[in-house]
Amino acid sequence: MIILQAILSVISGILVGFSLGLIGGGGSILAIPLLIYFVGYHHPHLAIGTTALAVGINAYLNLIPHALKKNVKYREGIIFTIPGVAGVLGGSELGLLTPGKFLLFFFGFLMIAIAIYMLVHKPGQDGKDIKGGLSYKKIIPVGLAVGFASGYFGIGGGFLIVPGLLFGGGLNIIQAVGTSLISVGTFGVTTAIRYALNGELNIVLSAFFILGGIAGGWGGARIANRLPRRTLTEVFAFIVIAVAIYIIIKNWSVVLHP
């Protein structure tokens, strides 16, 4: 790794951490395209393993302040995470078997789906009509499915985990956000370990990403209280869509000429 890539990795981490601190979620979806198209690390599988570790570690670090505020429900988080880990292992296995260019192409459509969700989702409304407590019949299959998506694409999956905890865990929105970090951290680290076994992990690059993420998250959180959260989320969603379209176009040739 050259010095320039190290610097660009820190900048990428700052951008991802800043967006996470600013709008409270979704920022990790930019980690993979930043590493590939901005840092210039043109190895899709290696990018997934590397960013998965960074996302996982950052999630565990962000879990601490939520735990101190008693927003973390450990039982529900662990019950969601255990089947999720099985899904992560299955998803990462399939991801490693999928050619890198195809993986990026599919990833572009996932980014668009996430952006649309962010545009139509109204924070605080998900849990409004949720009645009852923990439901094993709901939380286990949802955890498995979310874990699979997280492992296949190497994302944190927080945008899916929070609704899953609201749906199957009977939590309110604040508890779901805090508790989701247990799963995000575990899914990320599990994906990174599986990719590392195939030699698809650059731990030094990931460390630079984590350092940038810590600084960016702190800055984003400070600004978040001064600006309309909904407006920021909408702007971010359109940025994600623009990046996704670029990725799809960039890798469209693999569909036409596999």
Q: So where are the chain's domains?
A: 3-256
Bigger pLDDT: 131 or 246?
246
For the cut 70, the answer to whether the pLDDT of residue 97 exceeds it is: yes
Mean pLDDT of the chain: 84
For the cut 60, the answer to whether the pLDDT of residue 131 exceeds it is: no
Q: What is the pLDDT of residue 10?
A: 93
Q: Which of 223, 205, 170 is nearest to 40 (CA)?
A: 205
Q: What is the pLDDT of residue 74?
A: 94
Q: Cβ(154)–Cβ(32) under 8 Å? A: yes
Q: What is the pLDDT of residue 203?
A: 92
For the cut 70, the answer to whether the pLDDT of residue 132 exceeds it is: no
Q: What is the pLDDT of residue 130?
A: 47
Structure token pair of residue 145: 């499915």
The 8-class DSSP code of residue 25 comes to S
- Distance, in Å, from the CA atom of 160 to the CA atom of 88, rounded to the nearest integer, reads 14
CB burial string 62-99: b at 16+ within 10 A, e below: bbeebeeeebbbeebbebbbebbbebbbebbeebbebe
Bigger pLDDT: 231 or 10?
10
For the stretch 197-222, pLDDT in tens is 999 999 999 999 999 988 888 887 67
Q: What is the pLDDT of residue 193?
A: 95
- Distance, in Å, from the CA atom of 226 to the CA atom of 115, rounded to the nearest integer, reads 23
For the cut 80, the answer to whether the pLDDT of residue 126 exceeds it is: no
Q: What is the pLDDT of residue 123?
A: 54
% of residues, the chain, pLDDT over 90: 32
Phi, psi of 53 (to 5 degrees): -65, -45
Structure token pair of residue 94: 């399939």
Q: 254 Cβ partners below 8 Å, 6+ apart?
A: 99, 101, 102, 105
Helices 136-153, 100-120: inter-axial angle, 10-degree rounding: 130
186: confidence class by pLDDT, cuts 50, 70, 90: very high
Sign of the C-alpha dihedral computed for residues 115, 121, 123 and 128 taken in this order: negative
The stretch 151-167 carries a mean pLDDT of 81
% of residues, the chain, pLDDT over 70: 88
User: Which of 11-15, 113-117, 129-133 shows the lowest per-residue confidence on average (mean pLDDT)?
Assistant: 129-133
The stretch 93-99 carries a mean pLDDT of 92
Q: What is the pLDDT of residue 23?
A: 65
Residue 151 is which amino acid? G
The stretch 171-175 carries a mean pLDDT of 79
Q: What is the pLDDT of residue 224?
A: 61
For the cut 70, the answer to whether the pLDDT of residue 125 exceeds it is: no
For the cut 60, the answer to whether the pLDDT of residue 227 exceeds it is: yes
The stretch 130-154 carries a mean pLDDT of 83
For the cut 50, the answer to whether the pLDDT of residue 171 exceeds it is: yes
- Distance, in Å, from the CA atom of 254 to the CA atom of 147, rounded to the nearest integer, reads 27
